[in-house]
Each structure stands twice: as C-alpha cells, then as structure tokens.
Amino acid sequence: MNFIHNLEVAINGLRANKMRSFLTMLGIIIGVAAVIIMISVGQGASKKIAGQIASMGSNLLIVFPGAGQGPVRGASGSVNTLTLEDAEAIAGLSMVAHVAPELSTNATIGYASQTWTAQVVGTTPEMQMIKDWPVSAGSFFTGDDVRSAAMVAVLGKTVVDNLYLPGTNPVGSTIRINRLPFTVVGVLAPKGASLTGQDQDNVVYIPVSAAQKRLMGVNYVRLINVQAETPESMNFVQSSIENLLRQRHRLVGTSSDDFNVRNLTSVLETAESTTAVMTLLLASVAAVSLLVGGIGTMNIMLVSVTERTREIGLRMAVGATESNIRNQFLVESLVLCLIGGIAGILVGIAGSKIISKAFGWPTFVTVSSILLSAGFSAAVGIFFGYYPAKKAAGLDPIEALRFER
Amino acid sequence: MAGKTAIVLENIKKVYSMGETQVFALKGISLTIREGEMVAVMGPSGSGKSTLLNILGCLDRPTGGTYYLGGEDVSRLNKNQLALVRNKRIGFVFQNFNLLGRFPVLANVQLPLVYAGVGKKEMADRAKEALDWVGLSKYADHYPGQLSGGQQQRVAIARALVNNPSLILADEPTGALDSRTSIEIISVIQKLNIEKGITVVMVTHEKDIALYCRRLINVKDGRVLGDTPVSNPRNAAEDLAAIPEEREALS
Ligand SMILES: Nc1ncnc2c1ncn2[C@@H]1O[C@H](COP(=O)(O)OP(=O)(O)OP(=O)(O)O)[C@@H](O)[C@H]1O
Ligand SMILES: [Mg+2]
C-alpha cells in the first residue's frame, strides 16, 4: 500500500517539475548510454578477434623457415629449409591433431575468357580441418590427389564470383592457373576478411605436390600449419617440433635454428585481452559519467526535500514515521534513475547501432551490459537518494511545519 | 463535568536550549481535560500556547512532567510510537491549513489513512464521507488552490476527522480567515465536538472565538494563569443564521 502511494507521490512530483526531472534524468541517460556503447564497442572488437582466432584455426602453431622472427624474414626467400617430409614427421608427433604444409604464390586464374589474380595455395586436405572451413559445393581434394600430384583445385568464393556467371556451378569445370589446366572439384563457403583486412576468400587450394612440381618447380614448402590437440599442449608441441626439426636439419650444439615456430593464437589472444582491458577502461570512464549523473540526482533530491519541508512536516503530523518519509524520497530517486536508466539503455542500443553504421566498427550489445547498467542506475538512485531521504526523515515535524520558503 | 479524562498533564515543562541560553517555554503545567470538552487556550504571544499544543499533539516531547492521553503515559514514547498515536488518535487543524497543493482535495483528506495502512477502496470511501460531513463532497477532485480559505480549512477539518480521532487540536484555526468565515469554521468544529463527541483543544487570540468554547484556559509566561468555564457558550450555527445577508455579500 505504502509503496504504491510512494510511487504515486514520486510520479506526481516528477510530473510537477517536468523540465527539472528531464534534465536530471539526462545525466543518468547519458551515463547509462555511455556505459552500454563503450561495452558494446569493446565487445564487438573482442568478438571480431575471437572470430579471427576461430577462422585461422584454433591451437595453431605455424612453422616458418629461417631463423628470423616470423614470416617477414622468411618471405625474403633466402632460406627454404622446410620440406614435405618435415611436415610428415611433425604429423607423427604426439598431441598433434593436424598438419598442413603450405606453398603459395599469386597467380593468374583463367576461365573461359575471364582472368583473375588470386593466391594459389598448395596444401593437403588437412588444411580444411585446421581452418574448419566447409565447402559449399563439391568437396575438398583428397590425400590421393596429393600423392598423385593431381591437377585439381578448390576455389574460394571471391574467385568464383569473379570468374563465373552468377548461378553457375564451377565444380567439374576446368580453370587455368598460369596457363596450366586444373579441374575444379569444390567451392569453399565464404569466410570474409581476415584480421588484417585481407580477403580470405580470394584463394585457390591445390594439392601441395602439384604446386611444387607443376606450378612452381620447387621442392620446399613456404610454411607448415600445425594444430595441437589442446590449448594446454601447445607449448609441448612447440618444443617437440623444435627438437624434431633440429634433429632432421642436423643442427647441433649452439648453431641457430633454420626455422621458427610461432604461436599466432597467442598473439591474437594477447590482442583479445588488450581489447578487454580497453573495454574496461572505456566502461569505467562511462561509469564516471553515470556517477556524475547520480550526483545531479542527489542535488535535485536535496532541492526537492527543501521545497517540500512543509509537506514532510504535515505527513509526519498525520502519522508518517521516519521510515515512511525516507522510503518516499528513496522511491522518488529510484524512479528518477530507473526511468533514466531505461531511456539510457534504449539510447545506448541505438547509439551502438549508429556507431556500427557510421564508423564500420563492429559493436555488440550484450544482455549483461544492459543488466549491468540497469542495476547500476538503480544503485545510483538508492545510493544518491539515500542522503536526501535520510535528511527528510530526520526533520523535526514542528520546525518543518513552520518552515517558510 | 462528567465523563472519562481525555488528557492529564502533570507538571509539564519544556525547555529549549539554544547553545548557552535556555528558553523556558512551559514552566510546569498541570491540567485535566475530560472527553468531549471543547477548550480554548488564550494568552499573549510567546506565552507557550503552541508549545503546549504541540506536546498535546505528540509532535514534541516535554522536557519534564507526565502526559497521559486517554489514560496512557505518552510522554516517554519513541518517535515511531508518537507517530502512531498522532495517526490513530489525534487530528490537527492549522492556521495556514497545510494542504498539499500538488494533490486533489480527496487525496489530501486521505493522507492520514495512507499511514494507517487502510486499503485503497476504504480510503476513498472514508475520505468522501469526511468531505461530505464538512459539506464539500462536490470539491473532491478540485485542487486546494481552487478553493476559498474557508473551504480549505474545512478540507483540513475533514482530513483531521478521517481517522476518527478522539482529540482534535487546532492552533489558531481562524487566524487567517475573516470574521464571518471564522464563525463558519467554528460551527463545523462545534458540530464535530457535539455530534461526534470529539475532544477539542483550540488556541485562539480572539476572545470572540474563545466564547464558542465551554472552557477557557489562560496561559502566560509558560504557566496556567486562569482556568474558567464559559458560563454561556455561544452557538456558531445560530449566530450564522442571524447574519444571512452578509453571507450573500461575502460569497
Ligand atoms: N524551537 C524553539 N526553539 C527555541 N525557542 C522556542 C522554540 N519554539 C518556541 N520557542 C520559544 O518558546 C516560547 C513559547 O513559544 P510558543 O510558540 O509556544 O508561543 P505562542 O504562545 O504560541 O505564541 P504566539 O501566540 O505568537 O503563537 C517563546 O518564547 C518562543 O520563542
Ligand atoms: Mg503560537
């Protein structure tokens, strides 16, 4: 009963001072919206990175030739120390799930009168497993195709889009890679852009043996993808690979490695945790603005208590207890903050969408960020409403009744 | 003066301390008021009339002495217990009405019931009944600001009545009204005293108004200086009937 009365009184009070109530709420609205937008931007970024990790293949180690740090040094082409046999040997190690060597080159692809430049990657069928990349038509080439260096190809979506008329099924047709004829056996499902913005669908997969012997005339591979069975085993697998390759390449004593094993997943995971820290930071800044909104609420509640001193005195005279009065003002500031909070949530969701559209950033509004800000604004209402409410409840009824504005 | 005692004051004292100085507002007041009495309290400004009424109304506690309300010692109750006593047993009428301008008349009259935990339907029924009793049922949905001073004071009386109190306390209830309207208000107070048997204690500055009561207590300098029955109390309703022309002129 009393709660409903308090609610009615609160709404009556807020309506009596519409402009003032709105401006007070605006502080809460901005605060809540800022929290939601910041969290959604942060969540969007980390979702995107998580997506990259998944598309790259989880638990992935990449073996590059050369002693340098990473692919750049290897790309100079001075050291071509990795072979198909190395890849096969790695596959025999424990805790290794899949191994896929890669030998890639940019090549001109021709079909009928059309030509298109794409990355041609020689690999094994395990590549499909590592990347968890389904086909949308036909199938990936097989281990037999690799053994026989078959002239077969699996096309990425972008390649298909640029060579074939819409609606045609490329499976069974013959394309030319650097003038060599390859039979299309499958088309990959679209995957989208990579973390660095590269189009992952502008690719043609062929058996690594065909790439070595027919296309490029070499006997090394550019790199070897290794998928460990579990995230925990990655360090173990990494050192097993290092030991194995040192043996196979007859590196003894202090002579430095002619290869290096990189854990790209961990790089991305670092990026992900950096993003999480950024999200937290942005959300904290936004939370400060919610705090400022709360202080605004407190200010208005204090004004409201002073304005209604006589009313408080009268209510006490007709039997209101201190807690009745305190609850009345608590409910009022709670209503103020909750309405502000709900409006802020709507503004926040809309703002996130606008930011996605305007800047092309991925944003992701989470239920938890909505609950968090709703809970936070209620907490602000109670926290900043408490002091004014306490002040109102502590008034002396006689003095309150005598109060002159 | 038959009937049970409504109020017994034994050597009531009230001291206000303001830093170094102390103000002795009541210096030992002893009184007995029986149920159904209608008492006027008079005295010069600053004599302690309002202080006395506030203690009678359980808005304040005495610094010394004992106050029995309906046989119960209420001078040592805590704030919550005092609030309950005010809510259930006492009605207040103020000089400046103290209506809440944000709320319609009916909501104003209901206010004591909100804190009595009465259900919504019963609240409205009882408030309407009280409004009807003071002759203002038509004005339930008006706002206080739309009413004349006399009407506002009648709404305040309805609010004081709505909880069926045994005691109504009025601090200069006619202080803000012209003489004609004052008599109107006094007639309502006389009516609730006679018809409902509610004990009334009323502070007034005007001897004319005091003569409508049946007992007159004179307070000076925090003490009772005189306590006399009014030999022939005036009847406000009769006095009103005697001045009908003025009614037209004023309304
Ligand atoms: N809260 C207070 N603090 C200090 N002194 C007070 C307080 N309230 C009343 N007094 C003092 O107590 C004395 C009695 O005051 P009270 O208000 O009871 O007088 P009163 O008889 O009602 O006067 P009036 O006819 O002007 O209303 C006065 O001297 C007044 O200054
Ligand atoms: Mg006074």
Q: What is the pLDDT of residue A74?
A: 41
Q: What is the pLDDT of residue A264?
A: 76
CB contact under 8 A, B114 and A1: yes
Work out the minimum CA distance from A30 to partner chain B, whole angstroms.
30
B225 lines ligand 1 (CB under 6 A): no
Reference A111, options A152, A154, A159, A167; nearest CA is: A159
**Residue written as tokens 């204690």?**
B201
Cα–Cα distance, A116 to A163 (Å, whole number)? 7
All structural domains of chain B, each given as residue ranges with its CATH number in brackets, are 5-246 (3.40.50.300)
State whether residue B79 sits within 8 Å of chain A by CB. Answer: yes
Cα–Cα distance, A297 to A380 (Å, whole number)? 9
C-alpha of residue B169 to centroid of ligand 2, in Å? 13
Q: What is the pLDDT of residue A14?
A: 85
A380-399 pLDDT, tens digit each: 888 899 999 999 999 999 99
State whether residue A252 sits within 8 Å of chain B by CB. Answer: no
B177-228 pLDDT, tens digit each: 998 999 999 999 999 999 999 999 999 999 999 999 999 999 999 999 999 9
A143-155 pLDDT, tens digit each: 999 999 999 999 9
C-alpha of residue A322 to centroid of ligand 2, in Å? 25
Mean pLDDT estimate for chain A: 87
- The residue type found at B75 is S
Which H or E run contains A61? strand A60-65
A81-118 pLDDT, tens digit each: 899 999 999 999 999 999 999 999 999 999 988 899 99
Task: Give the start-to-end residue ranges of the domains of chain A.
Answer: 2-52+271-402, 100-221
Phi-psi region of A124 (alpha: psi -120 to 50; beta: other; left: phi over 0): beta
CB contact under 8 A, B83 and A311: no
Which H or E run contains A276? helix A264-307
CB contact under 8 A, A5 and B114: yes
Range 319-338 of A in CB contact (< 8 A) with B: 319-322, 324
Q: What is the pLDDT of residue A68?
A: 56
pLDDT grade for A176, boundaries at 50, 70 and 90: very high
Half-sphere exposure of A197 (CA within 13 A, CB side): 2
pTM: 0.74
Gyration radius from chain B CA atoms: 18
Compute the C-alpha angle B41/B45/B47, nearest 5°: 65
Decide if B115 contacts A1 (C-beta within 8 A): no
A300-315 pLDDT, tens digit each: 999 999 999 999 999 9
Average pLDDT value for residue range A250-270: 80
B18 lines ligand 1 (CB under 6 A): yes
Q: What is the pLDDT of residue A199?
A: 84
Higher per-residue pLDDT: A144 or A80:
A144
- Tell me the two tokens of residue A242: 């290092």
C-alpha of residue A216 to centroid of ligand 1, in Å? 108
pLDDT grade for A79, boundaries at 50, 70 and 90: low
Cα–Cα distance, A121 to A54 (Å, whole number)? 20
* Most informative mutation of B16, B54, B61, B220 for ligand 1 (most atoms within 8 A of CB): B16
**Residue written as tokens 């008021």?**
B33
B45 lines ligand 1 (CB under 6 A): yes
State whether residue A307 sits within 8 Å of chain B by CB. Answer: no
Task: Provide the b/e sequence for A26-38 (b: ≥16 CB within 10 Å).
Answer: ebbbbbbbbbbbb
CB contact under 8 A, B111 and A315: yes
C-alpha of residue B204 to centroid of ligand 2, in Å? 9
Sign of the Cα pseudo-torsion (A229, A231, A236, A241, in order): positive
B59-86 pLDDT, tens digit each: 999 999 999 999 899 998 999 999 999 9
Compute the C-alpha angle A84/A85/A91, nearest 5°: 95
A193-245 pLDDT, tens digit each: 766 667 889 999 999 999 999 899 898 999 999 999 988 888 899 999 999 99
pLDDT grade for A70, boundaries at 50, 70 and 90: very low
Task: Provide the b/e sequence for A287-296 (b: ≥16 CB within 10 Å).
Answer: bebbbebbeb
B1-33 pLDDT, tens digit each: 457 899 999 999 999 998 889 999 999 999 999
User: E strands of chain B, at which residues?
Assistant: 5-18, 21-34, 38-42, 64-69, 72-73, 90-93, 167-171, 199-203, 215-220, 223-229
Decide if A28 contacts A337 (C-beta within 8 A): yes
B50 lines ligand 1 (CB under 6 A): yes
Q: What is the pLDDT of residue A73?
A: 44
Neighbouring-strand partners of residue B66: B10
CB contact under 8 A, B86 and A319: yes
Contact residues for A226 (Cβ-Cβ < 8 A; gap 6+):
A60, A61, A62, A63, A90, A96, A98, A99, A237, A241, A261
In degrees and rounded to multiples of 5, residue A280 shows phi and psi of -60, -40
B202-216 pLDDT, tens digit each: 999 999 999 999 999
**Is the per-residue pLDDT at B251 higher than 60?**
no
Reference B112, options A317, A242, A299; nearest CA is: A317
Q: What is the pLDDT of residue A370?
A: 85
Q: Please report, rounded to a whole number, the percentage of residues in chain B having pLDDT higher than 70.
A: 96
Mean pLDDT estimate for chain B: 92
pLDDT grade for A405, boundaries at 50, 70 and 90: low
Closest chain A residue by Cα to residue B165: A318
CB contact under 8 A, B80 and A321: yes
Task: Provide the b/e sequence for A51-71 (b: ≥16 CB within 10 Å).
Answer: ebbebbbbbbbbbbbbeeeeb
